[in-house]
Amino acid sequence: MRIGELLIAENHLTQEDLQEALDWQVLYGGRLGTNLLELRLVEEKHLAGALGRQLGCETTWGEIEVAPEMIAIVPKHIADRSEIVPWKMEKRRLKLLCTEIKLEVLDQLSYKIGRPCVPVVAPEFRVFNLLRAHYQALRQMRALDFGVVPDEGREERRRKKRQAEKHEVLEPAPELIDEASFNDIYNKVLAGRGVASSAAEPAPVPPTAPPPQAAAPPASVTVAPGHPPGAPARAAPPAVPASPPAARSPGAEPAWNPAAAARPSAPPILVPQGNAPRQAPADDALEELPAEAIVGEAGASAADDMAALPPVRWDEPAPPAAAARDESPLAFDEALRLLKGVSDRDAIAHIVLRASRSKAARALLMTVQGGVALGWDGLGEGMGGHASRNVAVPLAAQSAFQLVVKTRSHFMGPLQKTPSNIRFLAATGKQIPLSSLLFPILYRGRVSHLLYLDNGHKQQAPTDVGEMLILSQRIAQSVEALVERKRKGA
C-alpha cells in the first residue's frame, strides 16, 4: 500500500490533502512525505509510523544525533549515492538511517564491515540534513529546512475561508524573519542543522506504545513494525518556529557558527508605477561586494575518531565524474517546441536555462516556497553545481526578488546594497553585474518560480526581454499541464 493510502486509512490524511501534496511534489520535487510535512498536512510521527508499516522496518523521527566515530565507517561517495547514514551500534548490529530499503547496498555493507546492517527509515529531510552535516552532500534546500510554512497550501486557504465566514478581520501573515536571523538559519541549513531539525520537539509517544519506547530519549524516537496509530482522529501538526530558538535543547549539538560577517542595513526599494519594467534606482547600486561578505560553507568534516571501532577498508573506488550536460544556448522557437512535450520538472528547468543562455551569460532558476526563494538549477559561471543549490533569499527582506514576487512583474536594473542581494551574489561566484533581469513564473496566479539572468561581472543585462516574457508564460503553462497529467496518472 502506498504511503498516502496508509495515512488516509489511519485518518491522518484526507484525499483532498493528498492531492494537494501531490501537486506540490510536481512543482518542487522530493518525496511525498517531505511535501506532506512542508504543507503541515501530517505530523512527522504519523508519517514515520506509516513508513514503518509500509516497509516493515524500524523508523525514527525528530532530531537525530550521530556520533562522529560512526561517520567514518561509510565513505562519503557511498553514503551520498545510497543516501544512508551510519547511526549507531546495537547488539553488534550497525543501524543505518535511510530513506528507503536497498537490500543490495545493505548486503554489500554487511560484507565489508563484517557486521549485520539493519535499515532504520527516517523522513527524507532528516536524512538529507545528516548527509549535509556529516558528508557535505549536496541536497536541494526546502522551505521545511527553514521552518517556513508555505501559505499557498490548502490549510491556509481553509483558515482564510473560516475567518471570512465568521466576518473576522484577517490579520496579515507575519514576515518570515529578520535578515540577521535568516543568516543564522541559512548557515545552519548548509551545515545540516536547519530550523526544522534543531528546533523540532520530540514527538509524544502514544499511550498504547510499550513501556521501553515511552522511556526513549527525546533526541530519537523509534517505531517498531506494526505499531498501531496513536489516535483515530487526525491532529493538527505542531508549529515549527519561524526563527531559531534562543537556547538549544539539552544534549543537542552546538549550532555551526561561521565567521561573523557585517550586515549592512537595507535601504528601501522604490517601486515605480505603471506597466514599465520594475527597476531599482541606480544611485545605491551594488558595485562590489564588501570584503567581509561571505556565504556559510558546509561544516567541517566529522572527526575520524575510530577508537571505538576497527578501521574498515573500502576497495571500491569513487565513481567517475558525471558526464557534462548540454549547456549550449537554445533558440526561442526550439524551446517553445520542447516545452510542449515536457515530461518532468527537471526537463522544464533544463530547457528554460538553455533558452536563457541565448539571451544572457548566466541563468538561475529558483523555487518560491512560503516566503523564501531557493536556488534550483543554473547555467553559466558561478551558477552551476553547488552554487545554485546554496542560494536562499528571504522574501520578507527587501530585495529585487521580493519586488518581483510582490508585483508579479519582471525586474530590470542594478541590485541594491541589501544583505539579501549581497548574500545572493556571494553565493553565485561573486560576480557583480551592472544590471540584472528577474522574471516571475506563475502557477495558478501565484509566483512559484523565479528566473534570474545577467551577463556576468561588470556587464549590463540584456535589454531585449520580449521573448523571455513569452517564455516565462509558456513555462507556467507547461508546469500546469504537467500537474494535470500527473493527476490523471498519465
Give the pLDDT confidence of 74-99 residue by residue, as tens digits: 999 999 999 999 999 998 899 999 99
pLDDT at residue 449 greater than cutoff 50? yes
Residue 30: the pLDDT is: 92
H-run or E-run covering 378:
strand 372-379
Give the pLDDT confidence of 428-447 residue by residue, as tens digits: 988 899 999 999 999 988 89
Give the pLDDT confidence of 356-408 residue by residue, as tens digits: 999 999 999 999 987 899 999 999 988 876 778 889 999 988 889 999 999 99
Q: How many whole angstroms separate alpha carbon 476 and alpha carbon 440?
A: 9
Residue 42: the pLDDT is: 94
The residue ranges of DSSP E strands in 82-204, in sequence order, are 84-90, 93-98, 117-121
Q: How many whole angstroms separate alpha carbon 156 and alpha carbon 23?
A: 16
Q: What is the percent of the chain with per-residue pLDDT over 70, rounded to a whole number?
A: 70
CA 328 to each of CA 283, 337, 403: distance values in angstroms, whole numbers, following the listed order: 36, 17, 30
Is pLDDT larger for residue 289 or for residue 158? Answer: 289
Q: How many whole angstroms separate alpha carbon 485 and alpha carbon 478?
A: 10
pLDDT at residue 225 greater than cutoff 80? no
- Nearest in space to 475 (alpha carbons), one of 319, 342, 381, 360: 342
Torsion-angle region of residue 219: left (phi > 0), alpha (psi -120 to 50) or beta?
A: alpha
DSSP code, position 72: T
Residue 444: the pLDDT is: 85
Distance between first and last Cα of the chain: 20
pLDDT at residue 266 greater than cutoff 70? no
Task: Output the CA angle 200-205-209, nearest 5 degrees.
Answer: 155
Q: How many whole angstroms separate alpha carbon 268 and alpha carbon 280?
A: 10
Residue 44: the pLDDT is: 95
| CATH tag for 332-488 (out of 3.40.50.2030, 3.30.450.40, 2.90.10.10, 3.30.360.10) | 3.30.450.40
pLDDT at residue 204 greater than cutoff 50? no
Residue 62: the pLDDT is: 92
Give the pLDDT confidence of 307-364 residue by residue, as tens digits: 445 556 677 676 677 677 788 899 999 999 998 878 888 899 999 999 999 999 999 9
Give the pLDDT confidence of 38-52 residue by residue, as tens digits: 999 999 999 999 999
Which of 214-223, 241-250, 286-295, 463-472 holds the top average pLDDT? 463-472
Domain ranges of the chain: 3-223, 332-488
pLDDT at residue 196 greater than cutoff 90? no
Residue 279: the pLDDT is: 53
